Amino acid sequence: MPDLLIELFSEEIPARMQARAADDLKSMMTDRMVEAGLTYAHAAAFATPRRLTLAVEGLTDHSPATREERKGPRVDAPEKALEGFLRSTGLSKDQLEARDDKKGQVWFATIEKPGRPAEEIVAEALTQVIEGFPWPKSMRWGEGSLRWVRPLHSILCILTDEEGHRVVPVEVAGYAAGDTTEGHRFLSPGRFRVSSFDDYAAKLKRAHVILDPEERRERIRHEAQNLAFAQGLEVIEDNGLLAEVAGLVEWPVPLMGEIGAEFMELPPEVLQTSMKEHQKFFSVRDRTGKIVRFLTVANIEAPDDGAAILAGNGRVLRARLSDAKFFWENDLAVAKDGMGAWTDKLANVTFHNKLGSQKDRIERIAALAREIAPMVGAGPDAAGRAALIAKADLSSEMVYEFPELQGLMGRYYAEAAGLPADVAAAAEEHYRPLGPSDDVPTAPVSVTVALADKLDTLTGFWAIDEKPTGSKDPFALRRAALGVIRLVTVNGLRLPLQSAVPGGGVSDDLLSFFHDRLKVHLRDRGIRHDVIDAVLAMPGSDDLALVTARAEALAGVLATDDGENLVQGFKRANNLLTQAEAQDGVAYEFGPDEKFAEAAEEKALFKALDEAEAKIGPAMEAEDFGTAMEAMAALRAPIDAFFEAVQINTDNQIVRRNRLNLLHRIRQICLAAADLTRIEG
């Protein structure tokens, strides 16, 4: 049972691709080996910036021999048939055996395939894997045609058992496998030979390479924390950055340096973003939350303990932060001046060539915000003012440099301009929610501007017929619609999109787009599509909060036995009635008279309907759908009993008519809150 070790050694592999590549190497190799008849006990893959490594333990040293018997043509069949059989089996005539069969003598072939040695299978698999490796982006180099993520330098491929190790003879695009590799580029140059995975991992560590990414991450985390703790500070955790940094180094050496006091006035988000995006530094904060140090992870242990590296990184950071400070100070001057320069500048920035400039757009949003503000509980003046400055920071130097700080800088600058806190907060919050899990703002001014922004985008793109198609949604209109849905429902806003939105409201087509997004949104929350359809068929379907409340109530009732059976009872009543109406050509809308009721169950139903109606009416009035539907569900037993005891189509036409009118009353009551005909099952 040998162990297999493979290492593909190359120039620096992008950090973001390493983990996936290691997984791919493992699954592609093991899949192919297993398919070829080998088995193994355990496999593990690793990646560093310069290598992908696969270690397979307990591999069988050959695939099993196979023996297959095949029946051929009859002995007296034409020569052509026999030739075909020989070709397909790869045998000659004297290797066949004639056996008695039901219809006479028939040729039989026995095909024996010997097991193949692991070497051969591994070599074949590795060639295929290297030549077809699914890198997200790959390249050629020199004069070759092989594609790899960056130039490949060497292949290590050995099998190790009790007798020692042997190189698997394989050559891919001129790269012959061997049993040597390299250590750290700077700390341990030169190649060395390895004889097994344990030997490989140990020698690599001696040569300043930590093979396992998890171990590199832990070492960074641990040493970074120690450095910070020693000074009473704390590293701000950032797992994405940690994974990236661990993919940039083979020998991680965290180093902590100071941030000049002159940069302390910068907002902490600016410090953190600048350090992370430009330098891949972690931020270190003190007990008050102020960011006071940077933490970088070097790839070498330097003789001066990293003094030169820290000095260099500190200088680069100073230059970066000087830029940031310059932007911040320039921006603050504009902000304190009322931000007019920025909003004017947005007149020259095209939002969309058919929808005008950013300034045009902002003015539309502000007008809309003023209109809908009362429905959200915000003051029209505050909302309009907030909308006018909410996107001003798009012209600021800081946001030009760090687009991810848009909104946040807007808030800082609005505060600097002396605007009220709720207006300033809207600058940051009006972009939200950015997705299905992002927080939804609740402050009225923020909600108003957020709604106005999204509604303007949607109505605008609908007006110029730029709707999402298939997977293409370049203007993120689905996200905007979901944003409106979540803003309205989370805040319980009554904002009928067709009657309350000024300018004639949203078009029917846009409303149905909202309905589609609402279905997806509610389905994610466990509400069936037929329930949503039943609710959307009711009037007021442009009132998304109302629709959602109804759908939730209906789904709640349907989850009970009574609710589900009521639907059955309703459908039965409805079907009978519909048939009778079609047959008789009349609508049974007169209202039933209790005096024609014969059976006790029929009389009980009259009473139950009276009671239900007494509850449902006021509940619907109050939009208390839960109570209304509970009252409906209570009809289940009387309706069931009625159908059990009573024949609708009796010979007595007066009684029959009265019963059909009774069914009509059931129908009307049941359709008051939702279109139950759309419920499936």
Of 325-364, which residues contact another protein (CB under 8 A)? 348-350, 353
Cα gap 47→200, rounded to integer Å: 14
**Which residue number, 353 or 653, has a Cβ lying nearer to another protein?**
353
298 binds another protein (CB under 8 A): yes
Smallest distance from another protein to CB 151, Å: 7
Q: Which of the ranges 203-211, 296-304, 394-402, 410-418 carries the binding residues for another protein, by CB under 8 A?
A: 296-304
Position among 84, 312, 377, 503 found at the interface with another protein (CB under 8 A): 312
Could you tell me if 150 and 15 are in contact, meaning their C-beta atoms sit under 8 angstroms apart? no
254 binds another protein (CB under 8 A): no
- What secondary structure letter does DSSP report for 230? T
Smallest distance from another protein to CB 312, Å: 3
Position among 44, 264, 311, 463 found at the interface with another protein (CB under 8 A): 311
243 binds another protein (CB under 8 A): no
Smallest distance from another protein to CB 220, Å: 14
Position among 76, 94, 112, 304 found at the interface with another protein (CB under 8 A): 304
Q: Which of the ranges 197-205, 310-318, 583-591, 614-622 carries the binding residues for another protein, by CB under 8 A?
A: 310-318
Q: Which of the ranges 86-94, 318-326, 492-500, 645-653 carries the binding residues for another protein, by CB under 8 A?
A: 318-326
Smallest distance from another protein to CB 537, Å: 43
Q: Which of the ranges 81-89, 314-322, 477-485, 569-577 carries the binding residues for another protein, by CB under 8 A?
A: 314-322
Position among 5, 201, 284, 317 found at the interface with another protein (CB under 8 A): 317
Q: Are strands 175-178 and 152-161 parallel, antiparallel or unpaired?
A: parallel
153 binds another protein (CB under 8 A): yes
303 binds another protein (CB under 8 A): yes
Position among 76, 100, 143, 621 found at the interface with another protein (CB under 8 A): 143
Could you tell me if 574 and 566 are in contact, meaning their C-beta atoms sit under 8 angstroms apart? no
Of 24-53, which residues contact another protein (CB under 8 A)? 49
Smallest distance from another protein to CB 314, Å: 9
Q: How many CA atoms lie within 13 A of 266 on its CB side?
A: 27
Smallest distance from another protein to CB 319, Å: 6
Indicate the helix (H) or strand (E) that contains 51.
strand 51-57
Smallest distance from another protein to CB 280, Å: 8
Radius of gyration in angstroms for the set of CA atoms belonging to the chain, rounded to a whole number: 37
Could you tell me if 544 and 489 are in contact, meaning their C-beta atoms sit under 8 angstroms apart? yes
Smallest distance from another protein to CB 298, Å: 4
Phi-psi bin for 58: left (phi > 0), alpha (psi -120 to 50), beta? left
Per-residue burial over 28-58, b = 16 or more CB atoms within 10 Å of its CB, e = otherwise: bbbebbeeebbebeebebbbbbbbbbbbbbe
Smallest distance from another protein to CB 456, Å: 19
Could you tell me if 210 and 269 are in contact, meaning their C-beta atoms sit under 8 angstroms apart? no
19 binds another protein (CB under 8 A): no
**Which residue number, 397 or 533, has a Cβ lying nearer to another protein?**
397
Q: Which two tokens stand for residue 660?
A: 């059909």
Taking the CA atoms of residue 79, residue 84, residue 89 and residue 92 in that order, the dihedral angle to the nearest 10 degrees is: 30
Of 484-543, which residues contact another protein (CB under 8 A)? none
259 binds another protein (CB under 8 A): no
Q: Which of the ranges 66-74, 98-106, 148-156, 651-659 carries the binding residues for another protein, by CB under 8 A?
A: 148-156
213 binds another protein (CB under 8 A): no
Cα gap 9→153, rounded to integer Å: 6
Respond yes or no on whether the N-terminal peptide bond of residue 433 is cis (omega within 30° of 0).
Answer: yes
- What secondary structure letter does DSSP report for 243? H
Count Cβ atoms below 10 Å from residue 176 Cβ, excluding itself.
12
Count Cβ atoms below 10 Å from residue 89 Cβ, excluding itself.
17
**Can you give the three-state secondary structure of 544-610, one letter per residue?**
HHHHHHHHHHHHHHHCCHHHHHHHHHHHHHHHHHHHHHHHHCCCCCCCCCHHHCCCHHHHHHHHHHH
**Which residue number, 8 or 15, has a Cβ lying nearer to another protein?**
15
668 binds another protein (CB under 8 A): no
**Which residue number, 49 or 410, has a Cβ lying nearer to another protein?**
49
178 binds another protein (CB under 8 A): no
Count Cβ atoms below 10 Å from residue 231 Cβ, excluding itself.
12
Position among 16, 20, 93, 191 found at the interface with another protein (CB under 8 A): 16
Smallest distance from another protein to CB 11, Å: 6
Indicate the helix (H) or strand (E) that contains 292.
strand 291-298
Cα gap 186→480, rounded to integer Å: 51
Q: Number of residues in contact with another protein, rule: CB under 8 A?
A: 45
Binding mask 58-77 for another protein (x = CB under 8 A): --------------------
Could you tell me if 486 and 440 are in contact, meaning their C-beta atoms sit under 8 angstroms apart? yes
Q: Which two tokens stand for residue 566?
A: 């009521």
Is residue 272 classed as helix, strand or coil in its secondary structure?
A: helix
**Which residue number, 236 or 302, has a Cβ lying nearer to another protein?**
302
Is residue 102 classed as helix, strand or coil in its secondary structure?
A: coil
Position among 296, 343, 395, 541 found at the interface with another protein (CB under 8 A): 296
Q: Which of the ranges 134-142, 372-380, 509-517, 650-658 carries the binding residues for another protein, by CB under 8 A?
A: 134-142
Q: Which of the ranges 141-149, 159-167, 220-228, 453-461 carries the binding residues for another protein, by CB under 8 A?
A: 141-149
Length of the chain: 681
Smallest distance from another protein to CB 459, Å: 22
Q: Which two tokens stand for residue 180?
A: 């040597």
313 binds another protein (CB under 8 A): yes
**Which residue number, 114 or 312, has a Cβ lying nearer to another protein?**
312
Position among 322, 575, 650, 668 found at the interface with another protein (CB under 8 A): 322
Query: CA angle at residue 477 from 475 to 481, to 5 degrees?
Result: 155
Position among 41, 308, 600, 622 found at the interface with another protein (CB under 8 A): 308
Q: Which two tokens stand for residue 513?
A: 């787009």
Q: In the chain, helix, strand, coil percent, each to 5?
A: 55, 15, 30
Cα gap 7→508, rounded to integer Å: 61
Position among 73, 115, 117, 151 found at the interface with another protein (CB under 8 A): 151
14 binds another protein (CB under 8 A): yes
**Which residue number, 146 or 506, has a Cβ lying nearer to another protein?**
146
Q: Are strands 191-193 and 180-182 parallel, antiparallel or unpaired?
A: antiparallel
186 binds another protein (CB under 8 A): yes
Distance of CA 71 to the CA centre of its chain: 54
Residue whose structure tokens are 């973001």:
16
Smallest distance from another protein to CB 341, Å: 14
Burial of 360 per CB tally in 10 Å (0-12, 13-18, 19+): middle
Cα gap 265→291, rounded to integer Å: 10
Q: Which two tokens stand for residue 240?
A: 């994405």
12 binds another protein (CB under 8 A): yes
**Residues making contact with another protein (CB under 8 A):** 11-12, 14-16, 49, 137-143, 149-151, 153, 186-187, 248-249, 279, 281, 296, 298-300, 302-304, 308-309, 311-313, 315-319, 322, 348-350, 353
